[in-house]
């Protein structure tokens, strides 16, 4: 059997699903962190091996420190790894990441229940601290 024949018998991939049949991502931020990591690899900012090694090490560290072995821990590790590799690749500093996190917290705290959270809500001086540019 030739390679094309083998490929013809493989089912086309569908959406990623967890083992219980539920969507793989329970919250939008989870999908966004994976998408950012995928983009960093695709753009050559980090290697796939570096991402895999760093994520594996972070998961081991979290589990060794007593974190439960569940989906929430996994995505927390994805986020920590993404932040670490972002700083390692010099795409953002720890201070910049900390300030962005503070901006999102202020926006969340200044958004009415049920309304979409908009970065810059609650910032003094206008959108994102008065810079007027991209946040």
Q: How confident is the model at residue 127 (pLDDT cuts 50, 70, 90)?
A: very low
**How far is residue 54's CA from residue 40's CA, in Å, rounded to a whole number?**
14
pLDDT of residue 26: 82
Go through 36-48 and write b for each residue having 16 or more CB atoms within 10 A of its CB, e for each that does not: bbeebbeeebbee
DSSP 31: H
pLDDT digits (tens, 9 = 90+) for 44-99: 999 999 999 999 999 999 999 999 999 899 999 999 999 999 999 999 999 999 99
Q: What is the pLDDT of residues 89-113, one digit of tens each?
A: 999 999 999 999 999 899 989 899 9
Global pTM reads 0.70
Q: Kindly indicate the confidence band of residue 27, based on its pLDDT and cuts at 50, 70 and 90.
A: confident
- Give the per-residue pLDDT at 56: 96
Give the C-alpha distances (Å, rounded to integers) separating 5 from 2, 8, 10.
5, 5, 9
Kindly give, in sequence order, each residue whose CB lies less than 8 Å from that of residue 112, ignoring residues fewer than 6 positions away: none
Determine the pLDDT at residue 129: 44
- To 10 degrees, the CA torsion angle through 75, 77, 82, 84? 160
Question: What are the two backbone dihedrals, phi and then psi, of residue 112, each rounded to the nearest 5 degrees?
Answer: -65, 145
Nearest Cα residue to 78 out of 45, 25, 30: 30
Q: What is the pLDDT of residue 52?
A: 95
């Amino acid at each position: 059997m030739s390679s094309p024949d083998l490929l013809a018998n493989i089912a086309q991939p569908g959406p990623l699903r967890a083992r219980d049949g539920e969507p793989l991502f329970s919250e939008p931020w989870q999908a966004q962190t994976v998408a950012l990591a995928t983009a960093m690899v695709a753009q050559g900012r980090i290697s796939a091996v570096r991402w895999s090694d760093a994520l594996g090490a972070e998961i081991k560290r979290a589990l060794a420190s007593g974190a439960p072995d569940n989906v929430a821990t996994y995505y927390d590790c994805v986020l920590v790894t993404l932040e670490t590799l972002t700083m390692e690749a010099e795409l953002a500093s720890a201070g910049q990441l900390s300030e962005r996190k503070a901006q999102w917290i202020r926006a969340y705290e200044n958004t009415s229940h049920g309304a979409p959270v908009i970065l810059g809500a609650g910032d003094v001086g206008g959108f994102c601290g008065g810079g007027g540019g991209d946040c």
